[in-house]
Amino acid sequence: MESGEKYDVIVIGTGMGGSACGAILAKHGFKVLILEKNPRVGGSCSYYEKEGFKVDMGTHMFIRGNKGPFGECTRRLGMGTPLKFVRTPGLAWVRGFNVDACMPASYARMPPFLLRSLIQAEVPVKKIPSITRFFIDTMRMSEEKIEEWNERTVEDYISLYTDDPFLHSIMGYLISLYFILPSWQSSAGEAIWNFQHFVRDKSLGYPKGGAVVIPQTFLEGAEMHGAQVLTDTPVEKIIMENGGVAGVVSEGNAKFYAPVVVSTTALEDTVRKLVGRDYFPSSYAKMAESIKSSYIAVQAKIGLKKKVTEVGCVCGSYPFKVPRDNITPDSMREKFQLVEKGIHPENTAIYCPIPSNFDPDLAPPGMQLLTGCSVAPTTDIELQDPPRVWIDNMLTALYEMVPNAKENVLFEDTFTVDAIASWIGKSSGAAVTTGQTPDQVGDKRPGYRTPIKGLYVCGDGAGARGVGTELACQSGMECADLINLESRRG
């Protein structure tokens, strides 16, 4: 297509948000152009190829499979359920906080896992009834009650059930993992909603073909409904005319025109870089600039010459053993305050999905792919410990977590936070650009509509509920429906 061409809607970005939004808009009958700055689509869920491996750019597992927004999106596009989510029998090997146990995919095998974990963590028997009550209450909570918990923290919620410092810390850590935020910064309502869907949908897994097949499939649906997708086309500016949007300018002054533009980059970047702060009411610009994001991670992609484990994911914290008295809400806060100052804490949290155990085709026969990461500050925090310290600590912890991995390394690619930030084009590099804090969920989340006529935002920065990728996909679909509704109303 030619520069200068006119569309109904231009969507910026092909991550989960942009690909879902563009596809649903095309299904609604709009003439849609979807622009991606990178040579490959998928944003955080993109990939690269190396020595016969198909390697995820991010570090992902997916909570709800086809039962959540991914399945809804492909069904709405008339594609049925082409995405195939796989679950390994041993889903997550949990190592750390004195626990060393494998969470099974089968619910029938869950009680022995839970019992073993409680025994290893030396949880006193008398505390078990309150933990049981916590699970029952959480699973039974109504939508209305969940809304009431939106504006309080996970830490507040857990305090209702236990005053045991160790248990409090571990429960808070586990239930806030979804959001890459600590328990005192995560919204309890958001956590309860996600926990309910995680348990009810029984779908935690990974798609055949790698994470990128999800946005790729949405984009196939978009093209099937007439949308056009252009890679290697960074949007440099959104064109403004008469106080509303008129299109976008890309590299080499290529212009594409549309009365509606949807941006899926971070809201602050949309306001400051793509449009210009002065076009917005100052209250909106200030809101965009004061958004709190989640944290992010340094990452390692490790190709192994042979398969060293059968599990789908290894996660936890290294060193594995910690004196029970050393784990308290206060000590967790102190550790996190170090991260907030750019200092690496003494413990290293690890999350390491093993994509080739879900889909062996992602690695050459008999080989294995580890995609590990470890929490790190966003780029707006000045690092006192340099990137190498964060990466070396992650690698030490990873090789302790996955026995026999170090001896079988074929390649070891590591990524700083700057590297992922540059790939996704979001300045802070956050995993979730509008973090799910108590003041940024539910009706307090930035909306899809902006004060500028024709400018909409979606992805993980605006609207919806859910964990990372599913939040972004849900947001993309809801934004497309809103644009459709508003255009029909005129």
Ligand X SMILES: Cc1cc2nc3c(=O)[nH]c(=O)nc-3n(C[C@H](O)[C@H](O)[C@H](O)COP(=O)(O)OP(=O)(O)OC[C@H]3O[C@@H](n4cnc5c(N)ncnc54)[C@H](O)[C@@H]3O)c2cc1C
For ligand X, the binding residues (CB under 6 A) are 12-18, 35-38, 43-45, 58-62, 234-235, 264-265, 296-297, 299, 373, 420, 424-426, 431-432, 459-460, 467-470, 472
CB of 39 to ligand X, least distance (A): 10
CB of 430 to ligand X, least distance (A): 8
User: Nearer to ligand X by C-beta: 149 or 178?
Assistant: 178
CB of 162 to ligand X, least distance (A): 27
User: Nearer to ligand X by C-beta: 155 or 460?
Assistant: 460
Type and span of the H or E element at 126: none
| Token pair of 164 as six digits | 């045991």
The C-alpha angle 356, 217, 30, rounded to 5 degrees, equals 160
Backbone angles phi, psi at 24, to 5 degrees: -70, -35
User: Nearer to ligand X by C-beta: 167 or 467?
Assistant: 467
CA–CA gap between residue 354 and residue 206 (Å, rounded): 9
Q: Where are the alpha helices (DSSP H) in 41-179?
A: 69-76, 110-120, 128-140, 143-149, 154-159, 165-176
User: Nearer to ligand X by C-beta: 156 or 236?
Assistant: 236
Q: Quick check: helix, strand or coil at residue 146?
A: helix
CB of 308 to ligand X, least distance (A): 21
User: Nearer to ligand X by C-beta: 405 or 430?
Assistant: 430
Sign of the CA dihedral running 351, 472, 361, 38: negative
SS (H, E, C) 320-373: CCCCHHHCCHHHHHHHHHHHHCCCCCCCEEEEEECHHHHCHHHCCCCCEEEEEE
Q: Determine contact, residues 286/277, Cβ cutoff 8 Å.
A: no
DSSP state of 453: B
User: Nearer to ligand X by C-beta: 437 or 469?
Assistant: 469
CB of 388 to ligand X, least distance (A): 18
* CB neighbour list of residue 335: distance below 8 Å, 6 or more residues apart: 345, 346, 347
How far are the Cα atoms of 49, 57, 309, 396, 397 from residue 405, in angstroms, in the given order?
A: 20, 20, 9, 11, 12
Nearest alpha carbon to residue 68 among 193, 159, 160, 155: 193
User: Nearer to ligand X by C-beta: 167 or 430?
Assistant: 430
Q: Determine contact, residues 471/70, Cβ cutoff 8 Å.
A: no
CB of 115 to ligand X, least distance (A): 27
User: Nearer to ligand X by C-beta: 162 or 414?
Assistant: 414
CB of 253 to ligand X, least distance (A): 15
Burial 101-119 (b: 16+ CB within 10 A, else e): bbbbbeeeeeeebeeebbe
User: Nearer to ligand X by C-beta: 69 or 329?
Assistant: 69
CB of 454 to ligand X, least distance (A): 17
